[in-house]
Amino acid sequence: MSLAEPAPLAVTTSAPPRLNALQRFAAGFKGSLPAYLLLLPSLIFLAAFTYGAVGRVVVDALYQRATPRAPSRFVGLDNLAAVIADPAFTGAVVNNLIYAVGTVVPSIALAFLFALALSRTNAVTSALRAALFLPVLIPMVAASALFLFIFLPNVGLLDHYIGRLLPVLPNWLGDPDIALAAIMVITIWKNAGYYMLFFLAGLQAVPEDAMEASYLDGAGPWQRLRYIILPELKPTFLFVTVIAGLNAVTQVDHVFVMTKGGPSNATNLVLFYIYQQAVEHYDVGKASAATLLSLGVLMGLTALSFRTLANREGGP
Amino acid sequence: MNPFKQLFKDAPLATRNEITPKLGFALVVLLALVWLIPFLWMVVATLRPASDGINAMAELMPSLKPTLDNIRDAWDIGDFPRYFLNTTIICTGILLVQFATVTLAGFAFARLSFAGKTLIFYLFLLQLMLVPVLLIVPNLTLVVKLGLYDTLTGVMMPFFASAFGTFLMRQAFEAIPTELEDAALIDGAGVLARIRHIYVPLSLPSFSAFAIVSVTSHWNDFLWPLMVINSPDKRPLTIGLSVFTQTAEGTQAWGTIAAGTLIVIAPLLVTFLIFQKRFISSFVTSGIK
C-alpha cells in the first residue's frame, strides 16, 4: 500500500526507475480522475449490460440445470454440442441465412435505386422520399398487423387484387415453402427507405467535377454509374450491408407476431430460437450457447466495418 | 410530358435527353405508390363500416359511408391510454438518463485528455458492435437478480448508456470554440458548470437528433419488453398492439385491427410529417444504434 503514497518517494532524487514509472502512473491517474468520473456512469451501465452480459453468456453456456429448479452444474461444452446437434437450431440458422440474403440484397438494391432517382431535391422528390421512409418509423409489430391482413388467404389484400392472376391461391403465411418469403417482403418494405438515406448522403459526396467531366466525355448513364458512382459509393455499400446484416439477425419481431416460427419451423430464425429456449423451455444453458454462437458471427460481421465505424465516430 | 420536363429542369444539360434516368424515376414513383398501399389500406379499412362485409375488406376504394365505429371498438378493446402512458414513461426515462450519461462521457472524450483514452474509446465502440438485442437472455437474468423483473425500470436499464449518443455529443462539443470556455475558466467555473452553461446550450441540435433516434427506436422496441414485462397493466404500445391483434384476429375484426394499428402509429407519423427534415438528418447520423 505504501507504493500508492508517492509523497515520501518524491524527495529521493535517485528513485529506482520502476517506482518512477509507478509515480508517473499515479500522477497520470490523478490528472485523469475528472475524466474517469465523467465516464463512470456510462461505464457502469456498459459493464452491467454489455461487457458483463457477454461474460454471463459465456459462463451460462457452460452450465446446465436438469430441471428449472435444480441447481446448475458445470457441463463444459455440452450445451454448445447440444445446440449444434439440435435440428431446430440448424434449421433456424439455414432459415436465417436465406432470410439474410433474401432481405439484404433486394433492400439494398431498392434503396440504391430510390436514392439514384431521388438524389435531386425538390418538392416531388421530398414527398417520394417521405413515402418510402414512412415504414421505417412504425414498429415492426404494427407492420405485422397490417401485413397479416395483406397476406390473409382469400379475402386479404394480395389475394383480392392479384389472386385472380394465379391458378391456385397460395396460403402466404401458412405454406412452409412461401412463409419465409412473405416474412422477407415485410422486412424489405420496412428497411429499404432507411438504407436509402445512407445512399442519398453518399451520392451528395460524389465529386461534382468528376460528374462534369463525364458529361463532357459523353458518358451515358450506365457508364457514369459503373465508373464514377459505384466506385465512389463502395464504403456506403459496405456500411449499409453490415447494418442490413445485423438487422437480419436482430429485427425479427414480425416472426413473433405473425408466424411464431411456423409453419413447421419454416420461419424460425436464430433470435426466435434463443427466445424459445430461454422463455418457453427455461433452458438458459442452451439459450446462452446459441447466443454465444450468434455473437461470434455478428462480431465477425461488424469487424468487417470496424475501421469505417471507428472513423465515423471520430477515432480514439 | 411537360410536368416530367419540369422535374428534370435542374438536371445537367448533357443528361436532359437521356431516357434511362426518366424510366428509373418513373419506376420509383410506382414503387413509392406500392410502398404506401399498406398505409392506405389501414386508413380505408379503419373508416369502413362492418356492414360492408368481409369481402369488401380488401377494397382500397374508401367506403361511401365512413364511420368511426372501428376506432371506438379498438379504443374499447385495447387499453391504449395505459399502453401510451407506459411507452411514454419508458422512452422519457431512457432519454433523461441517457442525456446525463452521454453528455458527461461526450465531454470527457471531446475536451479532456486522460490515460487509457484509446482503450476506453474502443470499449464504447464495442457497444455499437455487440448488438444489445442479442443479449436479451443474460440481461434478463441480471434484471431478475436486481429485482426489476416486470418493472418499467427493468425495461429501461440496459439502454441507460449509449455509445452512439456519446460519440454524437463528443462531435458536437468538439465543434465548440475553446475561447468560450476560457472566459468561464477565468471566472472559476467547475467542469459541471461549464458543461451546463456553455456546452449543453450550444449543442441543442445534437441533443434533438439523438432524442429523435432514441425515442423512435425505444418506442418501437418489442422483444426486450416482451421478455421483461409480465403484468398486462405494464405493457408498452408494441406488446399491447400484438396482444390486441391476436384477440381481434380470432374474431376476424380486420377493421378494428386497422384502427388499433392506426392509433398506435399515428403519433410518430404525425411528428415525422411535421419535423420531416430533422428526422431524416437524425437518422442519417444513426447507422448502428
Q: pLDDT tens for residues B108-126?
A: 999 999 988 999 998 898 8
Distance of CA B79 to the CA centre of its chain: 22
User: Whole domain around residue A146: which residue ranges?
Assistant: 79-312
pLDDT digits (tens, 9 = 90+) for A15-74: 455 667 778 778 777 788 889 999 999 999 999 999 999 999 999 889 887 666 777 788
Query: Does the residue A57 lie in any domain?
Result: no
Cα dist from B240 to A144, A314, B33, B220, whole Å: 13, 40, 30, 12
Query: What is the number of other CB atoms lying within 10 angstroms of the CB of residue A121?
Result: 12
pLDDT greater at residue A262 or residue B286: A262
E-strand spans in A266-307?
none
For residues B220 and B236, give the distance between their C-alpha atoms in angstroms, rounded to a whole number: 9
pLDDT above 50 (res B221) = yes
Cell matching residue B234: 405494464
User: Is position A180 within any domain?
Assistant: yes
Indicate if A280 and A153 belong to the same structural domain: yes
Q: Which chain B residue has the Cα nearest residue A303?
A: B129
ipTM for the whole complex? 0.88
Q: Which CATH superfamily is domain B77-286 in?
A: MetI-like (1.10.3720.10)
Checking if the pLDDT of B193 tops 60, the result is yes
Per the document, the length of chain B is 289
Asked whether residue A36 falls in the same domain as residue A136, the answer is: no
Lowest-confidence segment of B15-24, B72-81, B237-246, B262-271 by average pLDDT: B15-24
A13, A121: one domain: no
Per DSSP, helices labelled H in B18-162 are: 20-47, 69-77, 80-111, 117-129, 136-145, 152-156
Spatial distance between the Cα atoms of B138 and A47, rounded to a whole number of angstroms: 13
Q: Same structural domain for residues A251 and A291?
A: yes
Residue A11 pLDDT:
44
**A110 compared with A165, residue with greater pLDDT:** A110
Q: Is residue A151 located within the same domain as residue A14?
A: no
Q: Answer yes or no: do A42 and A119 share one domain.
A: no
Is pLDDT larger for residue B250 or for residue A150?
A150
- Structural domain includes residue A259: yes
Question: Chain B neighbours among A 75-104 (CB < 8 Å)?
Answer: none
Residue of A72, A60, A142, A234 whose CA lies nearest to B87: A142
Which whole number is the average pLDDT over A183-189?
Answer: 96
**Rounded distance between C-alpha atoms, residue A169 and residue A159, angstroms:** 7
How many domains is chain A partitioned into structurally?
Answer: 2
Q: Do A54 and B130 touch (CB under 8 A)?
A: yes
Mean pLDDT of chain A: 85
Residue A189 banded pLDDT, cuts 50, 70, 90: very high
pTM: 0.87
Q: Are residues A171 and A97 in the same domain?
A: yes
Give residue A184's pLDDT.
Answer: 95
Which tens digit of pLDDT belongs to each residue from A236-283?
898 899 889 989 998 889 998 888 887 888 899 999 999 999 888 888
- pLDDT at residue number B163: 92
Higher pLDDT, B245 or B14: B245
Q: Does any CB of chain B come closer than 8 Å to the CB of residue A159?
A: yes
Q: What is the pLDDT at residue B2?
A: 59
Smallest CA–CA distance, residue B75 to chain A, in Å, is 16
Total residue length of chain A: 316
- How confident is the model at residue B29, as a pLDDT? 95
Please tell me whether residues A122 and A266 are part of one structural domain: yes
Handedness of CA A242, A244, A249, A251 (dihedral sign): positive
Please determine, for residue B184, whether its predicted confidence score (pLDDT) is greater than 70. yes
pLDDT of B68 > 60? The answer is: yes
CATH code of the domain in which A105 resides: 1.10.3720.10
Position A7 confidence tier, pLDDT thresholds 50, 70, 90: very low
Nearest to A132 among B35, B249, B288 (CB): B35
Alpha-carbon distance B141 to A47, whole Å? 15
Residues of B in contact with A159 (CB under 8 A): 58
The answer on pLDDT for A181 being more than 80 is: yes
Q: Is residue A30, in this structure, part of any structural domain at all?
A: yes
What are the CA-CA distances from residue B210 to residues A118, B103, B104, B190, B285 (Å)? 26, 11, 15, 26, 9
Strands (E), A198-241: none
Residue A206 lies in a domain: yes
User: Do A41 and A86 reside in the same domain of the chain?
Assistant: no
pLDDT band at A177 (very low <50, low <70, confident <90, very high): confident
* Confidence grade of residue B236 (pLDDT, cut at 50, 70, 90): very high
Assess if residue A64 is contained within a domain: no
Q: Do A279 and A174 share a structural domain?
A: yes
What is the pLDDT confidence band of residue A12, given thresholds at 50, 70 and 90?
very low
Residue, of B287 and A216, whose pLDDT is higher: A216
Does residue A228 sit within a domain? yes
Distance CA A132, CA B35 (A): 6
DSSP string computed for B225-274: HHHH--SGGG--HHHHHHHHHHHHHHTT-HHHHHHHHHHHHHHHHHHHHH
A243 has a chain B CB within 8 A of its CB:
yes
Residue B42: per-residue pLDDT: 94
C-alpha cell at A253: 419481431
CA dihedral A283, A285, A289, A292 (to 10 degrees): 110
Domain with CATH 1.10.3720.10 in chain B: 77-286
Question: Does the beta carbon of A269 lie under 8 angstroms from any beta carbon of chain B?
Answer: no
Establish if A73 belongs to a structural domain.
Answer: no
* Interface check B10 vs A, CB under 8 A: yes
A2 falls in which pLDDT band (50, 70, 90)? very low
Q: Cβ(A203)–Cβ(A129) under 8 Å?
A: no
Co-location of A186 and A294 in the same domain = yes
